[in-house]
Amino acid sequence: MLYMPFDPLYVYLVLPAILFAMLAQFMVSGSFKKYSKQLTSKRITGAEAAREVLRYAGVSDVRIERVRGNLTDHFDPRSNVIRLSDSVFDAPTVAAVGVAAHEAGHAIQYAVSYAPIKIRMAILPVTSIGSKLAMPLAIFGFAFELTGLINLAILLFGAVVVFQLITLPVEFNASGRAVEALRDTKLLTFEELPGSKKVLTAAALTYVGALAVSLMQLLRFVLLARRRR
């Protein structure tokens, strides 16, 4: 049977990162649920907010569509479409407006050729492969003491970490653009804006958590490999 050798490093490094990532996910779910109960005073929906944020930035060629699921909101640069979930698209809530404005922020990043998002797209093919193969290669390499496979797994996992590291400024910048637009266009009142900020901050922490897990797992692999030598 193939296995990864148990090591206290997993408990000391990886497990705390996993717990932090779980906490971040719990926070974003809790924040979204809380501010989904707060209606916007102007009764503006998520889809309407996304359109207004795009208009504020001078971006006019992006479509806005509904997508199934909960918190499945995203911007698809290939088709130039913002897809908003059922709980965001036509919901006139502080949470929905914040999430929709954030996705509009991503569309604006592409429109203005924001450097980090271009870099992230450029390395996406490598990281897609790395995210699928790194762990199986590591398990196989450590099980059969194949140094070449172990090194390849570390390299692929490193690419994933780089991708997630670049993702952080992309996400924070999109949120910053969203908050600025919501404030300047007065889509949300002074009292409502902090609620959207809290939802977006909690969402950003999930990316920090994902990076922490990958980084600690990479560090564990490196230390295990050095121990073998």
Active site residues: 103
**Biggest CA-to-CA distance, the chain:** 64
CA separation for the pair 222, 229 (Å, rounded)? 11
Torsion angle in degrees (nearest 10) through CA of 159, 164, 167, 172: -150
CA distance 142 to 137: 8
Question: How far, in Å, CA of 220 to CA of 204, rounded?
Answer: 25
Distances (CA, A) of 60 to 53, 54, 165, 207: 10, 7, 30, 29
3-state secondary structure (DSSP) of residue 81: strand
E-strand ranges in the chain read 63-67, 74-76, 81-85
Cα–Cα dist 202/196, whole Å:
10
**What whole-number distance in Å separates Cα of residue 83 and Cα of residue 64?**
6
